[in-house]
Structure 1
């Protein structure tokens, strides 16, 4: 800790200079920064120097010590005040107590009494700083993991299920400032090439991107689903588009710097100048993101690009088709990696690439059979039943009217993705079970972390974080803390071990931080819990 700064205000020069010269300040962890003969001269110096400790006499000309203390306690509430007085008058002492003065010393002041008062004040400062440090550490740990109330707020926001007034009210409760002239959404996904397997490159790249956006108040980051994140961009009318482009460039540069080991995609919504326009903006961004299944070699998608693609209509339909965009692998890739919310957008994008060729009955036959056969193949590869799948989709009518083609394609894709997700749920349960077993076995290790657990069970840390929150209803750090606190309470009830011993036993190397977390989560100190008292 830095030296504690001390300022003295005393009208008696003998006392003032004596204190200044007789106390070995640095030896005791203090730095003498200045003095003044009265409150009037002291105040501007105190405002400039911002001392940690003010030593002041009560009786002084121009401005007395109580008046000075009153101003300092308002303007610099963290400054500790030691009052020295030649009077034992009760009224002075009462006023000093009301001002929350830390020490009240009667003259004559000895070197020993002043050092004792300073040491006591120093201890109080250090304890308060320690509590601030612990609170900051605790808040930083919690901030690493998504807040369910925050995520629920954004889910309702992008669904369009809140009025503008409700948006502002709930944002205020979450300390979110949504005041801006313009808004946009950037949605992105960053995964390893094998999608779920642990990748140090993917983890580090994603962490770098998330940490960048978390640093700036004009960007609000939240998780969309297991695979993607969204950034709400807020700015002035003149710069919101530049800020949006900047955010895309940040994601692009971080991912490109990682080499060819990542699957990454970015989608940009349409700028809106009203909060009420955010649901459509978010919908646009997600609709564009679904295009990654059509053009997997492209990484950045905008609504303008999609509009351009759709502007090419039936003219020279068959000649205009890009074979890559209707390749059967596009269907397969979507079933393997898409999400149910993207199905409508994907089907629309996929059919728009036919450029009117779907009006040909023969070409409709091809699309219908390609979709069904590829879907069958994928679900069989992941261990699902073909018979069950066929029971869930409408029959493949080869003379199907063109207006029914999209709904048929959506039905096939939705059924396949639903079956895939059921199988994934089973596998997910296995992943969470493995993570819980690892945590339960290793929670006493002070170095246990989300990254460590993810590496141990060979999946991405961000994927595990999302799975854990979704399945357990709490974040990783919340579960770990609950586990440790449950064990701590058991040891407090059933053993005579000291708090420090229990801290080490459950994975805290700092017993005081353990006590801080215990009180923060349980509402009382370990000692109070053991004795049945309340704080």
Structure 2
């Protein structure tokens, strides 16, 4: 059965919209109409939930016109096709729309047969796009033809090992790499797992999916935004990106979101992307890269299919990256997940290895000392200043224990207490951050241009991470929360002042009084005038 592409329709003329909606044989043309709206703003707010493949929109509409909507869609949903519907008198607008990379435009009045023919043509284009993205045989061919091994080897060494300035500059020049700066950041993408049953998925299929992720990241981050993308030996895809320092983190989070959206749409898989801290010198990219890997360890606690910025999940500042042993790395990774079971398993594996190694007592104590150093370094990075059990001299405590069993039990209890303290600190920090967000919204709700980006920039927090926490904290999305605040303030002004409706609209963040009235009635069931009369006991 052929897949139906999702489409939404926007037109402020009810008769036109209803006519197109009910007279068009959508399914016969390969489409499913998943939503219809009377203005661009409502359509924009529904984009994330509906995830359409195509948008058909009028140009002249209240609250947000078709060109404004088209620009927002192109900025955030690069694979969605946008079709502008316009009258002859708005032909100049249509020409501007083409410059915005709008797919096509249609002239009113729409002829039913012509519109049906157009949908069939657009379905054919969407089919070709999908085949281009999903054709595994094409990916297999590219996989065998794409062998930039020396370049990938250099890049992996650049971010994972010490390198002299001369070696670094020579490699950058010989491989024609370009990162203009002045600030840099590393990102690492890792597949969460194929959606559905993976039992019939071969190693080759999984490798092709990973190569598809590489293609998508290369197209979005490298070809379109000047970053550098490469595959790693542990089956991840890394990206190095540079921009102005104040914009770097937000831009990298936006690109990560675009990559995850495309991977889910075209490869039917989910991808998590870790982002390190921004740095000001290329030689510091190895630190940002290690932090991006560390951020991925938090998937167990925070969930998959996310953009995980290390600045969101660790509150301290990492001064340097130590080259830990495998056991130390495994323990720290287990601590990042927040799972006591994972921590206990990592300790058990390490102590079992130590018992079977036949090492001397002094060397055994030395290995455990190194483990403690790695553990304390990680604690510092998380920003946990005084975890339970760390007040005393840990090394002296270990010396009093005469068996590995005693040390293992003590260390396991210590790690579990640290996880408990860290969870409490994270809850407190999260609560404080969300309260700060609420205060910021309360102070700025009257600004019509208030956006989610403004709040996240104020908190220095990634959009995806903030959105998850804010929904958990308030039970509402950002848009729902801001609307509620504005409506509560509007009701207060309607009840206790004699201000006109358009004045109240401006005071609560709506430049268009008509749109304010629409939203007010949608939220309260009455118009502003009716609400005021009810408060005064008049009708």
TM-score by length of 1: 0.43
Q: If you compute each CA radius of gyration, which structure gives the higher value, 1 or 2?
A: 1
TM-score by length of 2: 0.43
